[in-house]
Each structure stands twice: as C-alpha cells, then as structure tokens.
Chains A and B, each alone.
Chain A
Amino acid sequence: RSFTSQTDGEARVTRVLREKFPRASAIKVVDISGGCGAMYEIHIESEEFREKRPVQQHQMVNQALSEEIKSMHGLRIFTSTPKP
C-alpha cells in the first residue's frame, strides 16, 4: 500500500483515528505540507459514517482530531462508507 515511510505526524493522526473509529475499514493520512505537519489529507472509510450527511461525517473526524487539529494549519477530509 504505502511505499514511503510515514512521518511522525501521519502516524500519530492515524493512531488517533484508529482509536476513535474502531470500525474503520480504511484509513489513510497524508501530510501534504511537505512533512511540516501543517496540513493533512485524511481518507477514512467506515461503517460508522453510514446514513450520515457528509458534513456530519466530517464533524465526527473533526471531533476525533480536536487536539491534533489545534496544531494544524488546515486539513482535508474525505469520508466514505464501505460497499455493502
């Protein structure tokens, strides 16, 4: 899947997401600020998002990462549900 090693920031964010979304089937966190930890792109696929509007799904991710977000400049979130 990934052919480069993760930054510490990416690993930490991924870990938090794994804890807060135990039913997630796929989580991908990419530092898009060139390794500075300033901006992340988050892709997360989970059964927990089913039946929820995108803004609600994103809000769940925001809440999960509320601590980490404080030190970020921005983040991009892409949520999805697994194919039934």
Chain B
Amino acid sequence: FMKGSPAQPLCGFSNAVVQILRLHGVEDYRAHDVLQDPDLRQGIKNYSNWPTIPQVYLNGEFVGGCDILLQMHQNGDLVEELKKLGIRSALLDAEKDQDKK
C-alpha cells in the first residue's frame, strides 16, 4: 500500500520500498495507490493500526513501513523472508557476480 505506483511513486518513502524490492528482483507484487482512494488510505491504517503509508504486507501479514523494510534489507532479514515465500532474492545471485566485476 503506497502513494503512487511502482512505475511512478509519488512519495520518497514509497519509492524507497519500490527500490529496495527491485534490488532483490521483486517486481511482481500487488501495489495499491492510496492516493486514488481516501477510504482505502484511512482503512488500511485502521486495519494495521499503523499511521503511515507505505505499508508492506508479505503473504497477507503486515511487515512494516519503509524504515523497517530498509532495516530488514540491511541486516539480511529481507532475503530470509523472501526465501520463506519461495522467492529467491536477486542479491544472492549478485553476490556471486561480484568477483567477476
């Protein structure tokens, strides 16, 4: 749940989430633009009891916002969470390519 779309984020924090996911090769996800729908915008905040957008859900479970995703990306947790969902992070392959550069 974000502001704008993955192709055109309308907020720096929403963009950060899109970029982090892209780094891991994750581009096939459902994105909901809360700016298009005020009821959705408030509704999702009520649902998760979280006051800000973007909100990241993995397999229906609320994970957190931009700061949390960034932390998970930096400490390796995101790779693990993606693995649990059967998604192999692109960064795992990138590490192997590092020697070739």
Chain A contact residues, CB within 8 Å of chain B: 54-55, 58-59, 62, 66, 69, 74-78
Question: What are the residues of chain B within 8 A of A77 when measuring CB–CB?
Answer: 67
26 of the cross-chain contacts (CB-CB < 8 Å) are A54-B64, A54-B68, A54-B71, A54-B72, A55-B62, A55-B63, A55-B64, A55-B68, A58-B64, A58-B65, A58-B67, A58-B68, A59-B49, A59-B50, A62-B49, A62-B50, A62-B51, A66-B51, A69-B51, A69-B52, A74-B13, A74-B52, A75-B52, A76-B66, A76-B67, A78-B67
Give the size of the chain B interface in residues (CB under 8 angstroms).
14
Question: What are the residues of chain A within 8 A of B71 when measuring CB–CB?
Answer: 54
Which residues of chain B (65-90) have a CB below 8 Å from chain A? 65-68, 71-72
Chain B contact residues, CB within 8 Å of chain A: 13, 49-52, 62-68, 71-72
Bound-state Cα–Cα, A69 to B50, Å: 11
Bound-state Cα–Cα, A59 to B63, Å: 11
Question: What are the residues of chain B within 8 A of A74 when measuring CB–CB?
Answer: 13, 52
Name B52's closest neighbour in chain A (CB-CB). Answer: A74
**B10 smallest CB distance to A (angstroms):** 13
Question: What are the residues of chain A within 8 A of B49 when measuring CB–CB?
Answer: 59, 62
**B6 smallest CB distance to A (angstroms):** 19
Bound-state Cα–Cα, A29 to B67, Å: 16
Bound-state Cα–Cα, A69 to B33, Å: 21
